[in-house]
Structure 1
Amino acid sequence: MDEQTRIELEAAAFRALVNHLRERSDVQNLDLMNLAGFCRNCLSRWYAEAAETREIPMDRDTAREIVYGMPYEEWKKNHQR
């Protein structure tokens, strides 16, 4: 498999994971941490870190909004127990 195809497949898998987590708002971050060792906040932190390594300015709130599909505070208000 060539490098570009690998990158495209990884990007598609990432988008599917993010969409799945958005649809499963009933699953709390604590549940994810206990079972998988990572949560939506971890994913958004990794996203921001990847941007930083490419010198793309991105703050934590922007990365969280990308992962959560809405501002983090709004998600917490609507979905956090």
Structure 2
Amino acid sequence: MDDQTRIEIEAAAFRRLQKHLMEDRTDAQNIDMMNLAGFCRNCLARWYQEAANERGIPMTKDEGREAFYGMTMAEWKANYQTEASPAAKEAFKDSHG
């Protein structure tokens, strides 16, 4: 497989993951993802921002989140975020300090 094809396949897989998290599984809370997998939507948004910055494209944390989420964090929270359970908060504290 040539490099360009690999890049296109990786980009397609990323877009599918993004769609899955942003449209298909809005019920999956970031704290639960962090507790289970060690990363969440915010991590993906930060990695997006960091990749842009590494390529000389200025992007703030909020801009990275809006690019990944397709909306502002305030909109996401209002539409999809629920209060984390005490157990989820404790698990996060234990695993992420």
Structure 1 residues not aligned, in runs of 5+? none
Deviation at 1:38, TM superposition (A): 0.3
Aligned structure 1 segments of 4 or more residues deviating by more than 3 angstroms: none
- Length-normalised TM-score, structure 1: 0.95
**What SS does structure 2 have at the residue aligned with 1:6?**
helix
Deviation at 1:35, TM superposition (A): 1.1
**What SS does structure 2 have at the residue aligned with 1:30?**
helix
- Equivalent runs, 1:57-76 vs 2, <5 Å: 57-76=58-77
% same residue: 67
* Equivalent pairs, count: 81
- Length-normalised TM-score, structure 2: 0.80
Max radius of gyration: which structure?
2
Structure 2 residues not aligned, in runs of 5+? 83-97
- Equivalent runs, 1:1-40 vs 2, <5 Å: 1-23=1-23, 24-40=25-41
Q: Which residue of 1 aligns with 2:88?
A: none
